[in-house]
Amino acid sequence: MIERVGKNRPLVDIHVSRLTSNFAAARDRAGLPKTLTFHSLRHTFASTLVALGVDIKTVQELVGHRSMESTQIYVHSFNPNKRAAIDRFKLPTAEDGKGTSKVQSA
């Protein structure tokens, strides 16, 4: 079980530079691109939590941001209204045989 190691401390007591270097070594051994960083995973984790409806305060605590402003970036990266609009739009497929898109009604 993971527990807090102290007041205002992260859930896992390991220095960021150690996490970053360990991740980079594992990434390189796996042959993954160097553009994949530990921060990429952190960003994906936070964005996914927001998309799943986790409250912003909990996301802030889980990613270890000191300020709510830093965490707000992830809220702005996910807009459910825009996602719903895109999901309603269906591009034509070869089976449709038409050159226009189909838009599902509300």
The count of domains in the chain is: 1
Encoded amino acid at 63, one letter: V
Residue 5 maps to a domain? no
Residue 9 maps to a domain? no
Task: State the residue range of the domain holding 71.
Answer: 16-103
Contact 80, 88 (CB under 8 A): no
Write the pLDDT tens digit of every residue in 64-91.
Answer: 888 889 888 877 766 777 777 777 877 7
DSSP structure class, residue 91: -
Q: What are phi and psi of 88, to 5 degrees?
A: -75, -20
Contact 38, 23 (CB under 8 A): yes
Residue 23 maps to a domain? yes
Is the full-model pTM beyond 0.75?
no
Confidence (pLDDT) at 88: 81
Half-sphere exposure at residue 23, Cβ-oriented, CA atoms within 13 angstroms: 17
Buried b (16+ CB within 10 A) or exposed e, 9-26: eeeeeeeeeeeeeebeee
Write the pLDDT tens digit of every residue in 19-44.
Answer: 888 889 999 999 999 999 988 888 88
Model confidence at 1, pLDDT cuts 50, 70, 90, reads very low
